[in-house]
A and B are shown apart, each in its own frame.
Chain A
Amino acid sequence: MRRTALGALTGVIALVAVLLVLWPRGVEAQPQTAESTRYRFVLTPSSTKSGSTTLDLMITDLAGNAARGDVTVEPAMPRMGHALAPITAAPVEPGHYRVGDVGLFMAGQWEITVSLSAERVVIPLLLT
């Protein structure tokens, strides 16, 4: 009886270990922060997979107040020497901008240049 229980326990432990190792983990897109002299830019991609992506942008000044103005996003892929045409980000609410359907068509290192008036930051984005 004791032996059966021990066997069952071993089996359960082994199963849990296998599940822990093999459980598929999605790569959660993390917000990326960059600061210029006046603003703080936080970029959150909808996914870290290549393909069509939505970029979410929170832009505040360094005191934390929502920024206003026209925001442009320029994606480029340095390894391919390839730049996409600049896209104007649509404001959702003050300080919150969104760019939908950005064709980041290839896996690898991308650089997203975000500009608001004269302030420009480059945010690296690694797609798998």
Chain B
Amino acid sequence: MKRTAAILLVVLGAVLGTTGPAAADGAHVGGDLHVAQSLGDRDLTVIIRRVAQVPGPVHVDVVTHAGSPAGEVTLTARAAGAPTSSAKVVLGATPGFYAGVVHVDRAGPWELSVDEASIPFVIPARVSSPWENATYGGFIAAGVLLFLALLAAVLGRPGLALVPTTGVVVAMAVAATAALLSPVIPPVAPPGAHLDPTFDNVMNPYERTPVMDFSRPPVNLVPRVDGHDLVLDLTDGSSGRPVDDLLLHDNAFVHLVVVSPTGGLRHLHPVRTAPGEYRVRLKDPERGTHAVAAEIARRGGGVQLLRSSVDVTGNAAVGAHDDVAELVTEVREAGRPTTITAKFGERDLQPWLGMLGHMIVVGPVTDGPVSAPIWAHVHSMIPPRPGVPDQPDESVAAYGPDVPFTYSFPLPGRYLVWIQVERDYQVRTVPAVVDVPAPAGGETK
């Protein structure tokens, strides 16, 4: 009897000992993060590649664009404010990819500093879901119980064998039910999308919370000029506290569009320098009141557009670095979809901010962009590739040459329009003016 018990214990130990790796075989989570950063005089895209394992390396690509000065940036990985690893990346004069590697020791919320800019990001943990555990656990338990039933039968106790046999049936039923239901159970939101990421909730994303509505209050934007920089202070519209929960959307935390008094456009991506503070360099600004619009997404959902204006005391002449492209427009009356196609000739456009092209619409302009009632950001999308979760990065110069946009101008009048694409690591901006007629016969949209 003692011997039988010992054998049983050994077998049980062997079986349970092998469950670890099987249960940890979770789905692939996370992907590459592309973050556009207007850092000082440089326009960078920081690509944080998917972290394969923790502890382990994080591969970071710093993509420079035309006009970025050569030099060196320091990458530092921080967890809970404490730096763990840093690396220097030497940026050459030619635009392109420059790689660096930092090391992380655990899954959870992290921050990657690129000089004075800090990029919060989450390294997801590979956690198997409860239904995976039920499936694997059920099959393993069935195996163990089957062995027990056989043992009882061999020892000449068929009556006793009935107990583990019943257990086999129950365990198989549990495993089969969990396996059959698993495809229809909705996945949990990626950590950090709804709730502030913590080491605890990244390690246990399946923990239930009583919260169903994750949305947060709107944001106040106060722009100010500090030396050569434009500083944006973001505060919560209900509590007045700094807003430090911006999510990456369309490859940036803040999409800042600044339109000068003469109609020059800048599409910038301010860097986070402190909680609720974003900073961007305004190179060679004009004098006068600039229209400012920031697109942000707070944790909990929803993109919001924050409009404001700022007085700049520059002395530069009107910026004349605009590009040209052949525009084919089919303008319909207000409220109906107008199509604008920019033809760039060669099929060598690169994705910028994950899109083939961007069109900024400001209007109808009567006395300047600051008071224009409509402000829009239209995308021309890159055709999705089924089965490929990661978006192509800027090294793929194989898109275009035609960049189509569809936008229903809500009001009749004269609109300022800028179309932006990337070619040769340089953002090309094509300005245009669109006159939108009023609907015939007083029709409404």
Q: Which residues of chain A have a CB within 8 Å of any CB of chain B?
A: 21-22, 74, 80-86, 105-106, 118
Q: For residue A105, which residues in chain B have a CB less than 8 angstroms away from its CB?
A: 381, 383-384
The distance in angstroms between the C-alpha atoms of A83 and B406, with both chains bound, is: 6
Cα distance A82–B407 when bound, in Å?
A: 9
Q: Is residue B379 contacting chain A, with contact meaning CB distance below 8 A? A: yes
| A86-B180 in contact (CB<8A) | no
Whether the Cβ atoms of A80 and B406 lie closer than 8 Å is no
Query: Measured between C-beta atoms, what is the minimum distance from A56 to chain B in Å?
Result: 22
Distance A82 CA – B355 CA, assembled complex (angstroms):
12
Using A21-B180, A118-B443 as known contacts, say yes or no to A86 and B339 having CB atoms under 8 A apart.
yes
Bound CA span A81–B383, Å: 15
Q: B404 at the A/B interface (Cβ < 8 Å)?
A: yes
A118 and B404 alpha carbons, distance in the complex (Å): 26
Known A84-B406, A118-B443; contact A106-B384, beta-carbon cutoff 8 A: yes
Q: Please state if B408 and A82 are interface contacts (CB–CB under 8 Å).
A: no
Bitwise, B399-419 to A at CB < 8 A (1) or not (0) is 000001011100000000000
Complex Cα–Cα for A105 and B404 (A): 15
Nearest Cβ distance between residue B178 and chain A, in whole angstroms? 14
Nearest residue, chain B, Cβ from A81: B379
Which residues of A sit under 8 angstroms from B404, Cβ to Cβ? 85
The contact of A85 among B337, B378, B381, B384, by CB within 8 Å, is B337
In the bound complex, residues from chain B placing their C-beta under 8 Å from that of A21 are 180
Is there contact, CB below 8 Å, between A82 and B337? no
CA distance A122 to B152 in the complex (A): 68
Quick one: closest A residue to B303, CB to CB?
Answer: A81
Residues of B within 8 A of A81 (CB): 378-379
13 of the cross-chain contacts (CB-CB < 8 Å) are: A21-B180, A74-B337, A81-B378, A82-B379, A82-B381, A83-B407, A83-B408, A85-B337, A85-B339, A85-B404, A85-B406, A86-B337, A105-B383
Give the most central of A22, A74, A82, A105: most B CB within 10 Å: A82
B338-358 vs A: 1/0 string, CB under 8 Å?
Answer: 010000000000000000000
Which residues of the partner chain B approach A84 to less than 8 Å between Cβ atoms?
406
Q: Are B337 and A83 interface neighbours, CB within 8 A?
A: yes
B2 to chain A, nearest CB (A): 39
Q: How far is the CA of A80 from the CA of B443 in the complex (A)?
A: 28
Q: How far is the CA of A106 from the CA of B379 in the complex (A)?
A: 15
Contact across chains for B381 and A80 when beta carbons are under 8 A apart: yes
Of all chain B residues, the one with the shortest Cβ separation from A120 is: B445
Q: How far is the CB of B1 from chain A (nearest CB, A)?
A: 34
CB distance from A89 to the nearest CB of B (A): 15
Interface flags for B38-57 (1: CB within 8 Å of A; 0: not) read 00000000000000000000
Distance in Å: Cβ of B353 to nearest Cβ of chain A: 14
Smallest CB gap from A22: residue in B:
B180
What are the 5 tightest A-B residue pairs by CB atom distance, in nearest-first order?
Answer: A83-B406, A85-B339, A85-B406, A86-B337, A74-B337
Q: What residues of chain B lie closer than 8 Å to A82, measured between beta carbons?
A: 379, 381
Beyond the given A22-B180, A105-B381, please list 19 additional residue pairs across the A-B interface where CB-CB is below 8 A. A74-B337, A81-B379, A82-B379, A82-B381, A83-B337, A83-B406, A83-B407, A83-B408, A84-B406, A85-B337, A85-B339, A85-B404, A85-B406, A86-B336, A86-B337, A86-B339, A86-B406, A105-B383, A118-B443
Residues of B within 8 A of A86 (CB): 336-337, 339, 406
Kindly report which residue of chain B lies nearest to residue A84, judged by CB atoms: B406
Return the chain B residue nearest A86 by Cβ: B337
Chain A residues within an 8 Å CB radius of B180: 21-22
Could you say which residues of chain B place their CB within 8 Å of the CB of A74? 337
Chain B minimum-CB-distance residue to A115 = B336
- How far, in whole Å, are A74 and B406 apart by their CA atoms in the complex? 10
Taking CB atoms and an 8 Å cut-off, the chain B residues in 364-388 that contact chain A are 378-379, 381, 383-384
Q: Contacts of B443 on A, CB cut-off 8 Å? A: 118
**Once bound together, how far apart are the Cα atoms of A106 and B381, in whole Å?**
11
Closest CB in chain B relative to A39 CB, distance in Å: 16
B179 to chain A, nearest CB (A): 11
Q: CA–CA, A86 to B384, complex, Å?
A: 20
Residues of A within 8 A of B339 (CB): 85-86
**Residues of the A chain whose Cβ atoms lie less than 8 Å from the Cβ of B406:** 83-86
A85 to B404 Cα, complex, angstroms? 8
| Residues of the A chain whose Cβ atoms lie less than 8 Å from the Cβ of B408 | 83
Report the separation of the CA atoms of residues A81 and B381 in the bound assembly, to the nearest whole angstrom. 11
Residues in A neighbouring B384, C-beta threshold 8 A: 105-106
A80 to B406, CA, bound (A): 13
CB distance from B49 to the nearest CB of A (A): 25
Give, as a whole number of angstroms, the nearest-CB distance from A87 to chain B. Answer: 10
Q: Closest approach, in angstroms, between the C-beta of A102 and any C-beta of chain B?
A: 13
Nearest CB in chain A to that of B339: its residue: A85
Expressed in whole angstroms, the minimum distance between the Cβ of A60 and any Cβ of chain B is 23
Closest to B444 in A: A118
| Residue in chain A with minimal CB distance to B330 | A85
